[in-house]
Amino acid sequence: MGKYQFEPTVMRELERLRVPLAVYQFLEKRVVTIMLSDGFCELFGFDDKNEAYYMMDNDMYRDAHPDDAPRIADEAFRFATEGGKYEVVYRTLTNRRDSYKIIHAIGEHVYTDDGVRLAYVWYTDEGSYTTEQDTRRKLVNEAFRRALQKESLIKSLSYDYLTGLPEMSYFFELADEWRRPRLARQETVALLFMDLCGMKYFNRKYGFAEGDNMLRRFANILKKEFSNENCSRFGSDHFCVFTGAADYKEKLESVFEQVRCAKDGKMLPVRVGVFIDTDGSLDISAECDRAKYACDTMRNTYLSRFRVFDDTMLRRTETTQYIIDHLDKAIAERQIEVYCQPIIRSSDGEIGDVEVLSRWNDPDRGMLMPNDYIPVLEKARLIYKLDLYMVERVLARLKQRGEDGLRVVPVSVNLSRTDFDVCDIVEEVRRLVDLAGVDRELINIEVTESSVGEDFEYMKAQIERFRELGFRVWMDDFGSGYSSLHVLQSIRFDYIKFDMSFMRGFDRGDKSKIILTELIRLAQALDIDTVCEGVETEEQVNFLRNAGCTRMQGYYFCRPIPLPKMLEQFSKE
């Protein structure tokens, strides 16, 4: 069924009505404007009827009060899908656009002779909305507040409360309905995922109220370019748009220009991921995921730009999904192997500790290195499964060696920051260690410097819990980012582990040596032992010994090797 058209003579008579009247039709999951009367245009300040039709189809609630627009849109959607009566009271800008007036809208469905359902909506001007205290205006405002309270009982399900854009689930329906006839005509469509750059810092600088205003302004830019029903706010500072692929680049350039030229400067750049749809074979949600993936590849970009999802990204997403889907099987079948790298005491050159590392030996894809799967599992918040599996494997070996009367040394296990969010990782580790009957001092907990900086007080409390239970806690990768001495001042660590970047810069002048020497002295003054990663040459070994570094780790001593080989080396000593 296509868009309904009145007979030309009927259309002219309806448009000439002085009564504010609009006729709508519900097509492709959206409200389409069929007729607007002269009275409607006068009430809402449209001098050009063509402009009125365009605005009602593309940004119907442009002039509605921001607090009312989502409520009106949601009630209109309910009326279109469920039927019944339509009645709303809301605020809209006056023709001078310097204040608000109150509009009372009442609608009902009428069927044409050929069975097409149309919505007739009549509008009434109930007077100005103001805080002044004369009796008539007080009565009008009180009536408005009562109506608003009544309508607020309707739970908004279809439109975003802040921007008036369709919510995610409704957006998926709109997009699917919109693309179907276009793909049938062999047109190519595009789905755009947008991420504003630096929202957290914007809110910190200007406040959350101004942040909300900025999001509304950005939503209005999108409405202008793509129309209201083609856009959605996915929460926070993320938006999604579907449009024709033929001109999406020009529209994006217009968006970028409007963002750049915002009058007050209070607008953020926007990164955009693009997915080009040629056959409709994917669900809209899957297309959003791919557009988001393309967008996320520009995370370090603070400029407005876009990137199209391509075959390389497709292979990466397939690998990502493979890792997520096969993790449980890999753990159950022990495809993930425990590798070890010794940590050498500087004083005597003997093995003082061992760090355990994982290697995923997949039967279909071969050996997967940590960089292939750890970032994926962290993002999916599944890394805790791997980390607890590694703890269990290590504990089983330590217990067996203790029972066999063989030498054991402390083992360092790495915990991800997300482990602390997904479960009570402190209690989980304690439970596993005690269940195995292994001394807690034989397990070193390594947490990265960057993870401590995220929710500092919370991480401080978890580290203190580990240490109170008898575990040693090491700060890993110190110096890999923006190191804060406040962390060392506030949290007690047993070891600081210097990032291997210090050793990479060892031969590029004296700066790295000077910084590392002073950091080792600082740790000694704080009564904290030190480990340096990435040691590869005898010159580095001698330097670290002379500087007072407690322990060393790197290819000079041993590459990561499977756990059985490491145990064999222990047994020979």
- Give the model confidence (pLDDT) of 45-79 as tens digits: 999 999 999 999 888 888 998 888 888 888 888 89
pLDDT of residue 141: 57
My answer on whether 462 and 558 are in the same domain is yes
Strands (E), 382-427: 411-414
My answer on whether 231 and 186 are in the same domain is yes
The backbone torsions φ and ψ at residue 78, rounded to the nearest 5 degrees and listed phi first, read: -60, -45
**CA atoms of 531 and 413, how far apart (whole Å):** 15
Average pLDDT in the 500-529 region? 87
My answer on whether 143 and 261 are in the same domain is no
**CA atoms of 64 and 101, how far apart (whole Å):** 10
Among candidates 97, 84, 92, which has minimal Cα distance to 56?
92
User: Which among 309, 341, 367 is the end of a domain?
Assistant: 309
Task: Answer whether residue 117 is part of any domain.
Answer: yes
My answer on whether 535 and 461 are in the same domain is yes
Task: Answer whether residue 135 is part of any domain.
Answer: yes
Residue 461 identity (one-letter amino acid): A
Average pLDDT in the 261-267 region? 79
Helix (H, G, I), strand (E, B) or coil at 500: coil
Residue 496 identity (one-letter amino acid): I
Strands (E), 46-188: 86-93, 100-111, 117-129
DSSP at 25: E
My answer on whether 338 and 294 are in the same domain is no
User: Which among 105, 121, 151 is the end of a domain?
Assistant: 151
Q: For residue 499, what are the domain limits?
A: 318-572
Distance of CA 237 to the CA centre of its chain: 9
pLDDT of residue 487: 82
b/e burial code for range 123-145 (CB count within 10 A of at least 16 → b): beebebbeeeeeeeeeebbeebe
My answer on whether 485 and 524 are in the same domain is yes
Number of domains in the chain: 3
Task: Answer whether residue 16 is part of any domain.
Answer: yes
**CATH number of the domain bearing residue 200:** 3.30.70.270
Task: Answer whether residue 157 is part of any domain.
Answer: no
Residue 251 identity (one-letter amino acid): K
**CA atoms of 169 and 200, how far apart (whole Å):** 26
My answer on whether 238 and 277 are in the same domain is yes
Task: Answer whether residue 31 is part of any domain.
Answer: yes
**CATH number of the domain bearing residue 447:** 3.20.20.450
Provide the pLDDT confidence category of residue 154 given band limits of 50, 70 and 90: very low
DSSP at 166: B
pLDDT of residue 105: 93
User: Which among 151, 177, 207 is the end of a domain?
Assistant: 151
My answer on whether 494 and 403 are in the same domain is yes
Global pTM value: 0.66
**CA atoms of 383 and 451, how far apart (whole Å):** 14
My answer on whether 290 and 347 are in the same domain is no
- Would the pLDDT of 143 be above 70? no
My answer on whether 325 and 457 are in the same domain is yes
Task: Answer whether residue 161 is part of any domain.
Answer: no
Structure token digits, residue 404: 């066999």
Structure token digits, residue 207: 């406040």
Q: Is there a contact between 548 and 542 (Cβ–Cβ < 8 Å)? A: no
More reliable by pLDDT, 470 or 151: 470
pLDDT of residue 152: 47
Structure token digits, residue 560: 């990561």
Task: Answer whether residue 82 is part of any domain.
Answer: yes
Q: Is there a contact between 103 and 126 (Cβ–Cβ < 8 Å)? A: yes
Average pLDDT in the 98-126 region? 91
